[in-house]
Structure 1
Amino acid sequence: MTTVTQMKCACSSCLCVVTLTEAIEKSGQYYCSNACAEGHPNGTGCGHTGCGCHN
């Protein structure tokens, strides 16, 4: 049996992979940052290098 410990951020435009123990969980989805978890309310990205998500 394989235990999943990492997955892609649930934000559709985000490229980040998050460790589940460090992810922000909201409504059963896992996000790499508060910006992604909140749906980028101010158009701000997650701030991680190489990722340009903002919507």
Structure 2
Amino acid sequence: MKKIIVLIVLLLIVTSCSELSELESGRQQRIKERGRECMYNYKGELQGCNYMK
């Protein structure tokens, strides 16, 4: 009985981890699609770029 309960718990953990992985990959894809926003200093030199929110 204990083995079955442990098996069910492990299956639930694996399922939730795979769902979280899917959600994270979708989030990363949406960030990449938005593009970048770059910042420049007063001399016109590039300071850095970030993904747009």
Of structures 1 and 2, the larger Rg is shown by: 2
Q: Scaled by the length of structure 1, what TM-score is found?
A: 0.22
By percentage of residues, which structure has more helix?
2
Q: Scaled by the length of structure 2, what TM-score is found?
A: 0.22
Q: Which has the higher contact order (CA 8 A, sep 6+)?
A: 1
